Structure 1
């Protein structure tokens, strides 16, 4: 495990995480979405697949109502013929609607997210993180976050899909404090060593385990493995 990868996975509270890359066989694109949560409402959630979409759903409706349901329940991922869209909020719908408009993932994200801002959950003002993979082989990550003065800051990151490698972005820097500091810098390079989606998801879940068991903020991890030139279905673990 690379040093920067180990640093992020060992951080106390990264928030939500997106990883985009390629599996070790170089046959499949890999998209990981992970949730951690501090509050009871954030923890009262699960990842559930519905057809070609991955949804964040409540495990306890009474508990989740104590938080902002509009920010807690949303489609996290869509996998369709035109590409794959993933994000930590309802902006996933807009990204999916823009798939097929360009062969460049950065252009898809820039166009679909131009009206989106950071989440209105003061004092954290959680960033909106998003990703896109296209049949052309183009991949990119995007973050919308709040500057110190309150204005909107946008960053796009385009990168090659490389065998056994991935790029990871999270909503927070990993320091468990109030308010939570936003992710800084460029997406981290990570190794993808597991042979299938289920094992990749398990590896990420295990990597997020805390040093102190009483501060286990892990909620759920899902991994999509997909090949646009493959006749079989997308697989989610």
Structure 2
């Protein structure tokens, strides 16, 4: 099991990340461009959404304005894009993911990462990646867990680190320690972090760099 804080402190740009643990989940967004950094998390009736902090400076809402977290019955869906809505509309995590592909932002072809958490502690994580073929095929990977012990979780992010193009996450979700929300926020790169959602046993907190959190 790896130390999540060490992973984050040693990586200036993991991009968007999901960590699913025992009775808790974390999701954060980061940004390199002014458009990506001009965002905050705001609550909704069934989860959260991203919103432009300064609407007058919003350049392109595609791929950056979406619902990262939504309830689906008694389950919780957490993703890095508008596939959240597809999954909820399908009322099926796997069917929803099978209908989507990686983001159309070549040459990065950012992966779509998604998760679903069930009340019994079981969860699933998915990554939709560019298969790096001339046909631009999509590789859809699913990881299903019966649960995880207290103090541990599984981490996945869009990127392995900074670069041009950005290198996509590779391999299976990483088993990691589960620090407290404040520790996660502090470990994210101060220049690139934008927002963080934490849900610990049903208690939700939102951290927004633009609002001084």
TM tier, smaller: 0.7 to 0.9
Cα RMSD for the two superposed structures: 1.9
The answer to whether 1:84 aligns with 2:76 is: yes
Equivalent-residue separation in structure 2 for 1:4 and 1:21 (angstroms): 12
Q: Is the 8 A contact 1:145 1:153 kept in 2?
A: yes
- For normalisation by structure 2, the TM-score amounts to 0.87
**TM-superposed deviation, 1:31:** 1.3
The answer to whether 1:50 aligns with 2:36 is: no
Counterpart residue number, 1:236: 204
Q: Please list, as runs of the form range in 1=range in 2, the aligned pairs for 1:8-47 lying within 5 A after superposition.
A: 8-22=8-22, 29-47=23-41
The answer to whether 1:72 aligns with 2:64 is: yes
**TM-superposed deviation, 1:51:** 2.1
**TM-superposed deviation, 1:80:** 5.0
Q: Provide the aligned length of Structure 1 versus Structure 2.
A: 202
User: Tell me, which stretches of 5 or more residues in structure 1 are unaligned?
Assistant: 23-28, 100-107, 195-199, 211-215, 227-233
Equivalent-residue separation in structure 2 for 1:193 and 1:74 (angstroms): 26
Q: Is the 8 A contact 1:10 1:208 kept in 2?
A: no
Equivalent-residue separation in structure 2 for 1:96 and 1:203 (angstroms): 31
The answer to whether 1:220 aligns with 2:195 is: yes
Q: Is the 8 A contact 1:5 1:190 kept in 2?
A: no
**TM-superposed deviation, 1:5:** 5.7
Equivalent-residue separation in structure 2 for 1:217 and 1:137 (angstroms): 32
Counterpart residue number, 1:205: 185
The CA deviation string for residues 125-145 of structure 1, in whole angstroms up to 9 with x for no partner, is: 111000001124320110001
- For normalisation by structure 1, the TM-score amounts to 0.79
Structure 1 pair 133–33 and aligned structure 2 pair: CA distance change class (3 A): same
Equivalent-residue separation in structure 1 for 2:3 and 2:153 (angstroms): 14
**TM-superposed deviation, 1:161:** 2.7
Match of 1:121 among 85, 99, 105: 105
Equivalent-residue separation in structure 1 for 2:95 and 2:123 (angstroms): 15
